[in-house]
Each structure stands twice: as C-alpha cells, then as structure tokens.
Amino acid sequence: MAPNSSAAARPRAELDLADSLGHELVRFIRLINKAKSQVSKQGPDGIERAAYAILFTLIHEGPQRTSRLADSLHAEISTISRQSSSLVQHGLVERQADPEDGRACLLAPTAEGLRVFEENRKQRNQWLAEVLEDWSEEDRQNLNRLFGRLNTGIEKHSPQLADAQAPTAAPAKGATA
C-alpha cells in the first residue's frame, strides 16, 4: 500500500471514514483467520488445508508448473512440491506432460479434485448464507456489489496486487473459490 502524495490534501472526514473502514477490514481479516483456524489443519482426507490453495489455483488458472504455482501463491517451491505430491497421492491433482517442454510437467485438477473443490465451495457458501441470513436481500446484494467495487479499486490503485485471472464482472456460477 504505497502512500499517495495527495493524501494530505484529503478532507478530514474522508480520512476519518477511511480510518474506520481500515479498522473494520482488520477486524474482518482477523475473524476470517480465526474461522479458518477453527477448521482443523488437515481435512478429513488427511490433506493439509493449505494444499487446497493449489487445487483452487489450478481450477481457476488451469494446469501449470510447480514454479508458477509457487510464484502465484507466494510460497517456496519445496512447499508447493510437498503439498502437490499429497494432492496427487489423493487423486485430486495429476501430473501432465508440458506441451511446451516435454521434460517438464504441469499439475492439473482431476475430476475428483473438481468434486472436492465444489464440496468445499458449497460448505463455504452455506456458512456465508448463515452469517447473512438475517440481512435483507438488498443488503446482501449491496455487500456483494460493494465488495467487488472495493476489490476493483484496490487492483486499480495497486496493479501488482491484481490477480491476472480475476474476473472483471461477477464470476459465472461454479467458477468461484
């Protein structure tokens, strides 16, 4: 988050509102992290929860090399290699020959990997629906619209944070993590 040189020229009320939003965003991130930590470190199938990020990335961005996954997930190649091996052993990911370089391999989700992805997605959606169940339909729609707008604003002002594969509009059903 690079400081903007025009920040000093912003009205006090605008900065106070930004401060309040910043507080709520930090609170949100802490709550999400707590919710994630309540789920065991390993899923019922013995796979590290962190390994699912690989599966999700492969589903969204397509087959790719371990090195590209490591870059995309900001992780060490050794970590990605260990986690992807577990996913391969459990039949969620498969290795394929790289069509551009026969000496290399790509990791790709299997049909079982897609099924597990969808099951995790359904569980997440059920949880979110429960969290928002006492909100009006209008409030839920506004939250979704404003969250998308916030993410677009962050990407616009910090292009290095933008996901190259992020949809610019609402993602198609079945295409979200």
Residue 54, in any domain of the structure:
yes
Residue 86, in any domain of the structure:
yes
Residue 103, in any domain of the structure:
yes
CB 83 within 8 A of CB 50: yes
Nearest Cα residue to 119 out of 166, 63, 177, 61: 177
Higher pLDDT, 10 or 47: 10
List the beta bridge partners of residue 48: 42
- Tell me the CATH number at 60: 1.10.10.10
Classify residue 117 by its DSSP letter: H
Q: pLDDT tens digits, residue range 107-150?
A: 999 999 999 889 888 988 999 999 999 999 999 999 999 999 99
- Catalogue the long-range contacts made by 163-166 (C-beta closer than 8 Å, 24 or more residues apart): 165/60, 165/61
Residue 96, in any domain of the structure:
yes
Domain count, the chain: 1
Tell me the percentage of the chain whose pLDDT exceeds 70: 82
Residue 35, in any domain of the structure:
no
Residue 143, in any domain of the structure:
no
Residue 19, in any domain of the structure:
no
Residue 17, in any domain of the structure:
no
List the beta bridge partners of residue 137: none
Which residues are CB-neighbours of 132 under 8 A, at least 6 positions away?
139, 140, 143
d(CA 71, CA 56): 15
d(CA 65, CA 68): 5
Q: Is the pLDDT of residue 23 over 90?
A: yes
Q: pLDDT tens digits, residue range 73-101?
A: 889 999 999 999 999 999 999 999 988 88
Range of the domain at 62: 49-113
